[in-house]
Amino acid sequence: MWECPDFYPVSIDGKNGVETSSLDKFTKHVLKASFDNSDHYVLGNYTAVTDNFLVDTDFLDNGSDLRYDYGNFYASKTFFDSGKKRRILWGWILESDNTTDDVKKGWSGLQSIPRTIFLSKTGKQLIQWPLEEIEKQRIIKVSFENKELKGGSVLEVSGITASQADVEVSFSLSSLKEAELMDPSWVDPKLLCSQKTASVRSNAGPFGILVLASKDLTEQTAIFFRVFRSKDNYVVLMCSDQSRSSVEEGPQKTIYGAFIDIDPLNENISLRSLVCYICFNTSIITFAKFSID
């Protein structure tokens, strides 16, 4: 069953949003539907005269559909911000605590951080990024540059409040010749992340960040990348591993994953994670940063 459908235009030329009523050769349309605990979408061309929507690729319902988010994100809607010429996306983060803990807190679930949404340069997928207003919440800045990380090493970042942070990190890989060979049967990124967790080392991964980690690292949320080599190119896997996010038994501890469209030989692999701690619950929202400028 489809829930919370959304239908709107996006510009094929630039990141600016367009009015919902826009119909011209400079726009494509997005049809989004919520089902199977995720928000899926297709791109296409809409003709108002015939009320016809010709999709580039239809919903396949086989795990390969385009999605807004590969984590805990559902029932989203967009609106056009005419003042700043942008389309803004809101979504629902489903509750991961058990019912007993929900009753103690007095609430369940929350709205995600709002994002701008626009068409990628290739025209094949949508790009999202936190609203620029989020950056006004930044107070204390801690930064490192040109740090070389050895395999298996951990660099602790101190001087910030780990429960409320806006983290940006970029990785440059010196060589990928010894990257693990990609098995053609590895088509499910979520399953692959659960098999190759942050504790499983290879020649090109894992590398990333450990969020809200305890001193002994028994409690942590790992957000990391792996690079595999295939016959013709490289494949980048991004994972969010919540399996050790809490020592409590009640919360759901899901592992999420997605393949990222990036060339690791010619581009840095970057991410931005927003960490927000609210009333004993933590929301961690991560964006892979590539080709948005």
Does 146 lie in the same domain as 283?
yes
Strand locations in 56-161, DSSP E?
66-67, 74-81, 86-93, 110-111, 115-119, 126-130
Domain boundary, last residue among 132, 161, 196: 132
Q: What CATH number does residue 263 fall under?
A: 2.60.120.560
Note the pLDDT of residue 58.
Answer: 87
d(CA 73, CA 112): 8
- For the record, the structure tokens of 65 come out as 């559909």
- Look at residue 163 and tell me whether its pLDDT is greater than 50: yes
Note the pLDDT of residue 278.
Answer: 57
- CA-based diameter of the chain, in Å? 63
Domain boundary, last residue among 113, 132, 151: 132
DSSP H helical segments within the chain, as ranges?
Answer: 99-105, 189-195
Does 237 lie in the same domain as 124?
no
Does 285 lie in the same domain as 143?
yes
Does 264 lie in the same domain as 211?
yes
Does 146 lie in the same domain as 250?
yes
Note the pLDDT of residue 75.
Answer: 95
The residue segments making up the domain with residue 75 are 3-132
Question: Cβ of 123: how many Cβ atoms within 10 Å?
Answer: 12
Question: 238, 222 in Cβ contact below 8 A?
Answer: no
Does 281 lie in the same domain as 167?
yes
Does 147 lie in the same domain as 190?
yes
d(CA 255, CA 31): 27
Does 282 lie in the same domain as 178?
yes
pLDDT digits (tens, 9 = 90+) for 10-21: 999 999 999 999
Note the pLDDT of residue 293.
Answer: 41
Question: 199, 218 in Cβ contact below 8 A?
Answer: no
Note the pLDDT of residue 245.
Answer: 83
Does 144 lie in the same domain as 70?
no
Does 145 lie in the same domain as 285?
yes
pLDDT digits (tens, 9 = 90+) for 241-257: 988 888 777 777 889 99
d(CA 286, CA 268): 16
Note the pLDDT of residue 276.
Answer: 80
Does 101 lie in the same domain as 189?
no
Q: What CATH number does residue 24 fall under?
A: 2.115.10.20
Does 236 lie in the same domain as 146?
yes
pLDDT digits (tens, 9 = 90+) for 101-145: 777 777 777 889 999 999 998 899 999 999 999 999 888 899 989
Domain boundary, last residue among 115, 132, 149: 132
Q: In terms of Cα–Cα distance, which of 215, 222, 173 is closest to 197? A: 222
Total of domains in the chain: 2
Confidence of residue 63 (pLDDT cuts 50, 70, 90): low
Question: 35, 1 in Cβ contact below 8 A?
Answer: yes
Tell me what the mean pLDDT of segment 179-207 comes to.
94
Output DSSP code: residue 233: S
